[in-house]
Structure 1
Amino acid sequence: MRTAYQYKLRPTKQQATEIDRWLSMLCSQYNYLLADRFNWYEQNRCPINACPLICYLPELRDNPDYYSQKKTLPNLKKTHPHYSDIHSQVLQDVVKRVKVTFDRFLGGDSNGKRSGRPRFKSRDRYRTFTYPQMKDDCIQGSLINLPKLGNIKVILHRPIPDGFKTKTASVTKKADGYYITLSLEDPTVPTIKPNINPESITGIDLGLKEFLTTSDGEPVAIPQHYRKSQKRLRVIQKRVSRRKKGSNRRRKAVKQLGKQHKKVADKRKDFHFKTALRLLSKYDVVVHEDLNVKGLVMSRQALSMHDAGWSSFLSILSNKAENAGLLVIAVNPKNTSQDCSSCGMKVPKKLHERWHSCQCGCSLDRDHNAAINIKNRALGHRVLKAKSLLSNSRIVLEAYTVLVESV
């Protein structure tokens, strides 16, 4: 299993200047390799299935693939000697990034979904470079040894667990400084806990009035980090727009705006992790709706949905549950707010109607009713059924053992 730990770097002024120089050179090489692929693609493609009698014949050459572009790097270091200052594997990783980007444009990812046309990157948008291989003892005390950059101070806010192997390291420049992301390999494979309790289950209904409501009726207030910081962001954004493009004052304002946006994103991420931890420490099984968040944000409430960060939260919840050996189940979201959780009868409600009231006497909050429906739909899930049968068989076996011993 792979996991990633991110730490803050504290480079010296000389090291920070060298990192910025690397990023600038790598950005230029990335754009050059991407342009080489586009040139071949434009010259060798035809929009129709037949060629005209008179046509332009491009220069015949092989398709620039990963290996052919990788072979150009030794010549690059001869024509541009300053590229020799960059670690060879970091330079090779740029070729890999171009390959992955272009392959997704032409053929799609593992699910067959094609990405948009790759864009050339400005120097402000190329912010990360990767070491594909790292030594296990690269961290000594509060220093990390990065080849050709030297020992850089790192803030180890949490230790690397014993037995984890360091596979790759990515250095990223963000608005408030430099970070390093270590990709760690854990030899153990997480499995579902054998003593999981199928009765310790809850359904959660995500919303905009409350961030989520559990099937027990417990709401979690929505923090609205972006909404609360909009006033400050508006002031800084005006400051950016009023200053002359290319000036140092505008560059400082842009940096200040980036820091403010990062502060909002960090607050939201911290809230997601704490909420997921609170749910998983109380319940063994968490059930949520299988939401099409991309489709939902195509509405007037897009800003509030982005501020809530449902997709990010569900991803964090699933990953943390998998590592803990717990279950997170996604169910069909159709009519969870309309159906009655007591009798199953459909009670149509508009979006502004926040109270569910049915003829059977069931009267409760709309989100609470939806959370109960979500929980009930999970009871027929095959994984939960298997765990329930396993738990029941264990209880019967224990009762039989006690009976035999008493006889």
Structure 2
Amino acid sequence: MKKTLRYNFRIKPTPEQEAKFIEFGSYARSVWNLLLSENMLRYQYDKTFVFYHEMAGLIKDLKKFEEFSWLKAFDSAAAQQVARDLEAGLKNSFTKGRTQQFPTFKVSFKQKKLHNDSFRCVNNSNCIRIENGAVSIPKIGKVPIVLHRKLVSEIKTVTVQLSHGKWEVSLTQEVECKTAKRVLHSIVGYDINSQHTVVGSNGWYVKNPKAFKRSSTKLKQIQVQLSRRKKGSNRWHKTKSRLNTLHGKISRQRLAFAHEVSCSIAKTSDIIVFEDLNVKGIQQFNGHMVNDNVMGMITSLTKYKVELNSGIYHEIGRYVKSSGICYECKHTHKFGLNVREFACENCDLVQCRDLAAAKSIESTGENDLIAAGIVARVTPKSQKKSSTKTKVFESSKFGVGTEKKEAA
């Protein structure tokens, strides 16, 4: 089984190529707004939408008009990718179980005070390739690239974007997953909170590094300096660049930390269980803490890394209670967030709140997977109690004829 992954690389374009990137980004934004307005007008007229094939034909027809001559300068495959993205956004906004809203118009970076336009090109007939330390992009040319790692496979698409004042390309490649395991030997549940980034049911935990909090003093100093500068002056631009660079450093620290933690989790066990947290809702109470804790990023990175290692990733329901449950007698308790340790009212066992929640998540995830038929507990030959507490599972849906078997 193959999985499509995305790898980011830094590029160093010339001033002419950088101007071309900004121009193509504005073209992609204009195509999005044009197709979205057409969809809204069509829906008002006959309650229908225009999807990819009709949108691609519309782009081709608009090139004949003088007002849309700029479409000829834009890469046709990149314009088609904008149509595919809009189609996906329309379908997701009306799909049950998805929380995405209806697509909105994109405004220019001058109105939003930041530049985040991007465009995506498709590798048709090997038009996107890396040769002699440069990546070739359609209608742009060869751009110097910083290859910090080898390519896994052939390039499928390339996305050009500006991140914290630095240009980057995002290359999508297909990666071969490991052979599916017939027998899964261990399961671990993980609890995410503010004090510790993750706490595992096996006792493993990682403290929150708080990258933003450690750099908050420096951020305040630069922001005060920026407020005293005359807007548009040379010193204002220099201070703005320093502020942007510091924000980029914080973002990279968070991403590096999330990759390290997710990689350690993916290699720990065969079955990984998390809780489906409403990260967007938690941000309303303490946005800085949630962003600094990279809650959503860790789960998304762990998911694809577990699949690459042929493991199973599972999330328990969002409204399933996991906190305040004794892991010995399963007695439930109610207390505030300031209580980090508690004594069970039934068995008087003193336990850590986070560790108890992680073990509860593990138990709930185990029952969910067994009930869904994804894994099946293997009955050992000997009925004697084992000295270890390792749980043995066998996958029942990885292939034909892999129902319950006796453990070796």
Which TM class, normalised by the smaller chain length?
0.7 to 0.9
Are residue 127 (structure 1) and residue 117 (structure 2) matched?
A: yes
Are residue 313 (structure 1) and residue 304 (structure 2) matched?
A: no
Cα distance between partner residues in 1 of 2:266 and 2:36: 44
Specify the alignment match of 1:139 in structure 2: 130
Are residue 86 (structure 1) and residue 59 (structure 2) matched?
A: no
Cα distance between partner residues in 1 of 2:304 and 2:315: 14
Aligned-residue offset at 1:14: 2.8
Are residue 194 (structure 1) and residue 178 (structure 2) matched?
A: no
Aligned-residue offset at 1:349: 2.4
Q: 1:171 aligns with which of 147, 160, 184?
A: 160
Report SS of the residue matched to 2:274: strand
What amino acid is the match of 1:222? N
Correspondence 1:13-92 to 2 at 5 A: 13-35=15-37, 40=41, 44=45, 66-67=55-56, 69-76=58-65, 78-79=66-67, 84-92=72-80
Aligned-residue offset at 1:168: 1.3
Closer, same or farther in 2 for the Cα pair 1:100/1:73, shift >3 Å? farther
**For structure 1, which runs of at least 5 residues remain unmatched after alignment?**
47-61, 399-407
What amino acid is the match of 1:75? K
Percent identity between matched residues is 23
Specify the alignment match of 2:189 in structure 1: 203
Report SS of the residue matched to 1:238: helix
Count of residues in Structure 1 that have an aligned counterpart in Structure 2: 372
- 2:189 touches 2:359 (CA, 8 Å); kept in 1? yes
Closer, same or farther in 2 for the Cα pair 1:229/1:324, shift >3 Å? same
Cα distance between partner residues in 2 of 1:191 and 1:33: 43
Render the CA deviation track for 1:22-60: whole Å, top value 9, x for unaligned. 33444445445555555x3697499xxxxxxxxxxxxxx
Correspondence 1:230-309 to 2 at 5 A: 230-243=216-229, 249-299=235-285, 301-309=286-294
Report SS of the residue matched to 2:149: coil
Cα distance between partner residues in 1 of 2:292 and 2:280: 14
Report SS of the residue matched to 1:20: helix
Specify the alignment match of 1:6 in structure 2: 8
Specify the alignment match of 1:59 in structure 2: none
| TM-score, normalization by structure 2 | 0.78
Specify the alignment match of 1:58 in structure 2: none
- 1:287 touches 1:374 (CA, 8 Å); kept in 2? yes
Q: 2:361 aligns with which of 374, 382, 388?
A: 374
Report SS of the residue matched to 1:237: helix
Aligned-residue offset at 1:85: 3.8
| TM-score, normalization by structure 1 | 0.79
Aligned-residue offset at 1:147: 2.0
Closer, same or farther in 2 for the Cα pair 1:12/1:237, shift >3 Å? same
- 1:7 touches 1:154 (CA, 8 Å); kept in 2? yes
Aligned-residue offset at 1:305: 1.6
Report SS of the residue matched to 1:90: helix
What amino acid is the match of 1:317? T
Report SS of the residue matched to 1:75: coil
Aligned-residue offset at 1:315: 0.8
- 1:93 touches 1:130 (CA, 8 Å); kept in 2? yes
Cα distance between partner residues in 2 of 1:366 and 1:235: 38
Specify the alignment match of 2:399 in structure 1: none
Specify the alignment match of 1:330 in structure 2: 315
Render the CA deviation track for 1:385-405: whole Å, top value 9, x for unaligned. 357454996555x5xxxxxxx
The Cα RMSD (Å) is 3.3
Closer, same or farther in 2 for the Cα pair 1:247/1:69, shift >3 Å? farther
Specify the alignment match of 1:149 in structure 2: 140
Aligned-residue offset at 1:251: 4.7
Cα distance between partner residues in 2 of 1:142 and 1:216: 45
- 2:62 touches 2:68 (CA, 8 Å); kept in 1? no
Render the CA deviation track for 1:188-213: whole Å, top value 9, x for unaligned. 5666422431xx22222111111122
- 1:287 touches 1:378 (CA, 8 Å); kept in 2? yes
Q: 2:352 aligns with which of 365, 368, 393?
A: 365
Q: Answer with 354-363 or 83-92: which moved more.
A: 83-92
What amino acid is the match of 2:147? L
Cα distance between partner residues in 2 of 1:337 and 1:63: 47
Aligned-residue offset at 1:270: 0.9
Closer, same or farther in 2 for the Cα pair 1:352/1:8, shift >3 Å? same
Q: Larger Cα Rg: Structure 1 or Structure 2?
A: 1
Render the CA deviation track for 1:281-330: whole Å, top value 9, x for unaligned. 2322222222222333332x332122212111111111110111112222
Closer, same or farther in 2 for the Cα pair 1:109/1:267, shift >3 Å? farther
Specify the alignment match of 2:381 in structure 1: none
Specify the alignment match of 1:56 in structure 2: none
